[in-house]
Every structure is written in structure tokens, then in C-alpha cells.
């Protein structure tokens, strides 16, 4: 009878081990799914970062262009005043480049 008791105990231990193993497999699958979702989200965020960096670069170039035009306008306005010509401050700020 002692062997029956030991076999029952062994069956219980094996059963618990199998349950634990199955639970760990489910947990592993859940973690792998979460990892794939996060990797996808990271990829999407990286694309957004790249797009925003590109937009920022374009805006910086446009602002730089505007600042250059303002500087040229101020220089032209100062030269006109120095030469005795005053166009009322209307210079070439909004003139299209030729």
C-alpha cells in the first residue's frame, strides 16, 4: 500500500508540474504577443519621428529663407535711405525671387 500512496503522490506532483508548464507556456505566448505589438508600435513611432524630423527640416529651411529675405530687405532699405531714396518701407520683402 505504501507504493500506492507514493504513486498517487507522484501523480499529483506530475499533474502540478504539467499545469505549471502549461501556465508558463500561456504566459510565454502572451508575452510574445505583447512584444510583437510593442515592436509594431515602436516601428510606427519611428516612422512618425522620421516624418516629423523631415517636416522640421523643411520648416527650418523655409524660416531660414524668410530670414534671409528679411535681411536682404533691411539691407536694401538701409542702402536706399543712405542714398537718399525712401520708398516708405515697402522694399522688396515680398518680391518674388527672379
* Residue 3 banded pLDDT, cuts 50, 70, 90: confident
DSSP state of 92: S
Reported as a single tens digit per residue, the pLDDT across 61-78 is 999 999 999 999 999 999
- Residue 91 CA to residue 73 CA, distance in Å, equals 6
Per-chain mean pLDDT for the chain: 90
Among residues of the chain, what percentage have pLDDT more than 90? 72
| pLDDT the model gives residue 6 | 92
| pLDDT the model gives residue 83 | 80
Amino acid at each position: 500500500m505504501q507504493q500506492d500512496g507514493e504513486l498517487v503522490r507522484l501523480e499529483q506532483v506530475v499533474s502540478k508540474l504539467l499545469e505549471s508548464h502549461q501556465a508558463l507556456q500561456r504566459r510565454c505566448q502572451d508575452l510574445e504577443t505583447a512584444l510583437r505589438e510593442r515592436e509594431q508600435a515602436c516601428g510606427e513611432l519611428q516612422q512618425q519621428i522620421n516624418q516629423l524630423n523631415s517636416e522640421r527640416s523643411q520648416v527650418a529651411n523655409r524660416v531660414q529663407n524668410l530670414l534671409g529675405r528679411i535681411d536682404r530687405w533691411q539691407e536694401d532699405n538701409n542702402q536706399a535711405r543712405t542714398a537718399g531714396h525712401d520708398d516708405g518701407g515697402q522694399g522688396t520683402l515680398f518680391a518674388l525671387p527672379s
